[in-house]
Amino acid sequence: MLDFIVGFITSLLSGMGVGGGGLLVIYLVLVKGLAQYDAQGINLAFFICSSVAALTVHFIRRNINLRLAAYLILFGALGAVIGSLAASYVSPETARRIFGVFLLISGLISLRQK
């Protein structure tokens, strides 16, 4: 039952633009005991579905700057491929620490904004 609740909440946050992926990875690693890379893989698969659903709503409401989105998608895909390949050279423990640092920085930036 907890899996369903976590899945719903992280998708809800993602649909609102908060980015629930960090929360899902934390849940999968700390609560479910998955390895960092396994959790990240599940997170990516999970958010394909929830992102398509949210994207559909935003597209219908015309909330998307298509030109900007095209640039971000192109370079984001390139960065994702390079990052995925680079991950094979980083230990799971180091990846977990890097992930934690980025979450911390992201949280601090969010708290500082008005």
* Number of domains the chain is built from: 1
pTM score, whole prediction = 0.68
Nearest 10 degrees: Cα torsion 111, 27, 57, 75: 70
Higher per-residue confidence, 64 vs 51: 64
In the structure, what pLDDT confidence band is assigned to residue 114 with cuts at 50, 70 and 90? low
* Among 34, 32, 19, residue whose Cα is nearest residue 92: 34
In the structure, what pLDDT confidence band is assigned to residue 49 with cuts at 50, 70 and 90? confident
Which domain range does residue 33 map to?
2-112
State the residue for tokens 């491929």: 81
* pLDDT given at position 87: 85
